[in-house]
Amino acid sequence: MINYPLRSETQPEKTQSARTDYQRLGRCELPYPVGRYASARFSLLELRPRTGRTHQLRRHMAHIRHPILGDTRHGDGRQNQFARDVLGLHRLMLHASELRLPHPHLAGSLSIQAAATEFQMCLADFGFILGPAALAADLE
């Protein structure tokens, strides 16, 4: 769990509580040097924001020095350049497989699910082969 307050985007003098749960689903290493490292190493994570702050997932991952690949604002420029030049990856490697929120008119929650076809193809390029169950795994 990452429990780290984030500054408000609109009022930088204020911080807001922010909490993100995460779980590593896999990791890979590619035989290409990136920056000062002899190989490129990546992890696949499931992230679950428990609060809803602007760019919370991206900011929390950057805070613990594990930025999301393709994040041009909060990420690692060398890793992003490697992903573009070597892997042909031109996207943020973040996918919302499910959004769950309170239903606006009925008791209970509203669940919206999104297919991860393009995302899964990118993951396969890294050597992560996952079915839909792994992408929608539950931490609860």
Alpha carbons 15 and 5: distance in angstroms, whole number? 6
3-state secondary structure labels for all residues of the chain: CEECCEECCCCCCCEECCEEEEEEEEEEEECCCECCECCEEEEEEEEEECCCCCCHHHHHHHHCCCCCCCCCCCCCHHHHHHHHHCCCCCCCCCCCCEEEEECCCCCCEEEEECCCHHHHHHHHHHCCCCCHHHHCCCCC
CB 51 within 8 A of CB 66: no
Residue 68 lies in a domain: yes
Residue 63 lies in a domain: yes
Q: What is the pLDDT of residue 139?
A: 36
Q: What is the pLDDT of residue 140?
A: 38
Alpha carbons 106 and 96: distance in angstroms, whole number? 24
Q: What is the pLDDT of residue 130?
A: 57
The rounded average pLDDT for each run of 10 residues, N- to C-terminus, in the chain (140 residues) is 93 94 91 91 94 96 97 96 92 92 90 86 76 45
Q: Of 139, 90, 98, whose CA–CA distance to 118 is shortest?
A: 90
Residue 12 lies in a domain: yes
Neighbours of 59 (CB within 10 A): 22
Residue 98 lies in a domain: no
Structural domain boundaries, residue 19: 2-92
Residue 121 lies in a domain: no
Structural domain total, the chain: 1
Residue 6 lies in a domain: yes
Residue 19 lies in a domain: yes
Residue 53 lies in a domain: yes
